[in-house]
Amino acid sequence: MNKEYKKRINTAIDYISNNFSNNLTLEEIAGEAHFSKFHFHRIFKAVTKETVSGHIRRIRLEQSANRLLSDSGETITTIAMDCGFASSQNFATAFKKHFKVSPREFRESYSLDKWTALGNERKISDHLVFDTTKNDSKTNLWINLIDMPPYHVAYERLTGPYELRAYDTVFENLVNWAYKKCDISAAIMLGVIWDNPEVTVPDQCRYDVCITVPEKIIPDDGIGVQKIKGGNYVVGHCEVSHYAELEKTYEDIFSSWFPSSNYIPADSASYEIYLNNPENHPRKNMLIDICIPLEKI
């Protein structure tokens, strides 16, 4: 793993450990580690095997368990609030799910020595123990560093769960609109991915259905235009049978390529290039290029 990646993720973990009782935001933690807010969640999960929210929740629960084991006489509500939980009810539910007993049962049944003896002691992971730089040879994925051109596109922005086939009608309408405006024989179909569905509620995820058009095209009929910037991108070329499989492809890029590279994701959205019509593929598969903007570490 690149040493700079390890250093930055450790910075994020340390920041969480020192501020876990606060209402931490993804953007705040990403800023402390000097990672793009667009891509930090994927990087963190790829390296630590935990989501950011899952890591924060675990740290809060482990700290609360330590307080309960110390037999300090503090009330469970006080411990819950001090450890960043909104209410004692939320704390009790999360605690039982994690430790399999309620906070009260935990306090009454275990001492620190007994809990340790059972082999169930939890500790905050202050530093990384993961190395995810190996590629999976079974993954149908080819990763390359490419200097991508800028694209001038017409687009329609949608909000909702990411599902490429659900956008078929929108793509068709966009193509028909562009066909009336210009020659689209060499046009490229793209999708701009603004949100991560593991962070943003799926119903609020933003997606731009795009087609390349000449710069002279004027937006109308609810269709907008924008420029997708060119420059250095890591491009993952993949073949998938269903769009839902693409999330695993993103995880492969962030776990195998980024940590061993000298790059971090730039602070802008990723996009996908759709290279074929699945109906014309012998196995009805989709050929897609995932394009993630880069900057040097």
Please report, for the domain that includes residue 13, its CATH number: 1.10.10.60
Is 127 a domain residue? no
**32-57 pLDDT, tens per residue?**
999 988 899 999 998 888 999 999 99
- Judgement on whether residues 106 and 170 belong to the same structural domain of the protein: no
**202-224 pLDDT, tens per residue?**
888 899 999 999 999 998 988 99
Mean pLDDT along residues 7-29:
92
- Judgement on whether residues 99 and 169 belong to the same structural domain of the protein: no
Boundary-marking domain end, from 117, 133, 156? 117
- CA–CA separation, 200 and 91 (whole Å): 23
pLDDT at site 111: 56
- Judgement on whether residues 96 and 177 belong to the same structural domain of the protein: no
- Judgement on whether residues 109 and 174 belong to the same structural domain of the protein: no
Per the structure block, which two tokens stand in for 236?
Answer: 């993952």
Is 28 a domain residue? yes
Does residue 267 register a pLDDT over 80?
A: yes
Contact (CB, 8 A) for 209 and 194: no
- Judgement on whether residues 288 and 151 belong to the same structural domain of the protein: yes
- Judgement on whether residues 96 and 188 belong to the same structural domain of the protein: no
> What is the distance between the terminal CA atoms of the chain, rounded to a whole angstrom?
13
- Judgement on whether residues 267 and 165 belong to the same structural domain of the protein: yes
Is 197 a domain residue? yes
Per the structure block, which two tokens stand in for 255?
Answer: 């776990």
Q: Which residue has the higher pLDDT, 96 or 122?
A: 96
Is 125 a domain residue? no
Q: Which residue has the higher pLDDT, 113 or 141?
A: 141
Report the number of distinct structural domains present in the chain. Answer: 2
Contact (CB, 8 A) for 60 and 79: no
Contact (CB, 8 A) for 45 and 30: no
Does residue 139 register a pLDDT over 70?
A: no
Q: Which residue has the higher pLDDT, 230 or 67?
A: 230
To the nearest whole number, what is the mean pLDDT of the chain? 85
- Judgement on whether residues 157 and 279 belong to the same structural domain of the protein: yes
Mean pLDDT along residues 177-199:
91
Residue 192 lies in domain = 141-296
Does residue 181 register a pLDDT over 90?
A: yes
Is 135 a domain residue? no
Classify each residue of 142-175 as buried b or exposed e, where b means 16 or more C-beta atoms within 10 Å of its C-beta: ebeeeebeebebbbbbeeeebebeebeeebeebe
Is 75 a domain residue? yes
pTM of the model: 0.72
Is 123 a domain residue? no
- Judgement on whether residues 171 and 56 belong to the same structural domain of the protein: no
Mean pLDDT along residues 172-179:
94
